[in-house]
Amino acid sequence: MPSTTAAALAAVLSSVASVASAFTTPSSATATTRAGKTQLYSTVDPTVVTKKEYQDICGVDFDDNALTDRLKKTAYLYPKHVEVIEDFEPLVNKMVDDILLETGEKAWQPQDYLPDLAADDWLEQTKDLREAAAGIPDDVWVVLVGDMVTEEALPTYQTLLNTFEGCDDPIGTTNSAWARWSRGWTSEENRHGDLLNKYLYLSGKTDMRAIEVTIQHLITSGFNPGARKDPYRGFLYTSFQERATKISHGNVGKVAKEYGAKDLQRICAKIAGDEGRHEKAYQSFCTEILKRDPDGLLMEFGDLMRGQIVMPAELMTDGKDAQLYENFSAVAQRLGVYTAIDYADIIQHLVDHWKIGELTGLSSEAEKEQEYICRLPQRYRKLAERSMNKKKDDEVEQHSFSWIFDRKA
Alpha-carbon span 351 to 369, nearest angstrom = 12
Cβ pair 48, 21 in contact under 8 A: yes
Chain-centroid distance of CA 228 in Å reads 11
d(CA 168, CA 148): 26
Catalytic residue among 147, 165, 169, 189: 189
Catalytic entry in 81, 263, 278, 345 = 278
Ramachandran region of residue 235, left (φ > 0), alpha (ψ -120 to 50) or beta? alpha
Those residues with Cβ within 8 angstroms of residue 354's Cβ, 6 or more apart along the chain or in another chain? 283, 286, 287, 290
Q: Could you say which of 181, 192, 194, 321 is catalytic?
A: 192
Per the annotation, the verdict on 151 as an active-site residue is yes
Catalytic: which of 151, 169, 188, 295?
A: 151
Question: One of 245, 279, 321, 342 is an active-site residue; which one?
Answer: 245
Which of the following is catalytic: 194, 242, 293, 342? Answer: 242
Q: Is 245 noted as a catalytic residue in this protein? A: yes
Catalytic residue, from 274, 279, 293, 318: name it.
Answer: 274
Distance CA 135, CA 358 (A): 49
129-133: Cβ within 8 A, 24+ apart: 129/199, 129/202, 129/203, 129/263, 130/202, 130/203, 130/204, 132/260, 132/261, 132/262, 132/263, 132/264, 133/203, 133/204, 133/205, 133/261, 133/264
Q: Looking at 30, 83, 86, 108, which residue is catalytic?
A: 108
Question: Does 274 participate in catalysis according to the annotation?
Answer: yes
Under DSSP, the state recorded for 35 is T
Q: Is 108 a catalytic residue?
A: yes
**Residue 278 falls in the annotated catalytic set:** yes
- Spell out the residues 6+ positions from residue 61 whose beta carbon is closer than 8 angstroms to its own: 51, 54, 55, 67
Which positions are annotated as active-site residues?
108, 151, 189, 192, 242, 245, 274-275, 278
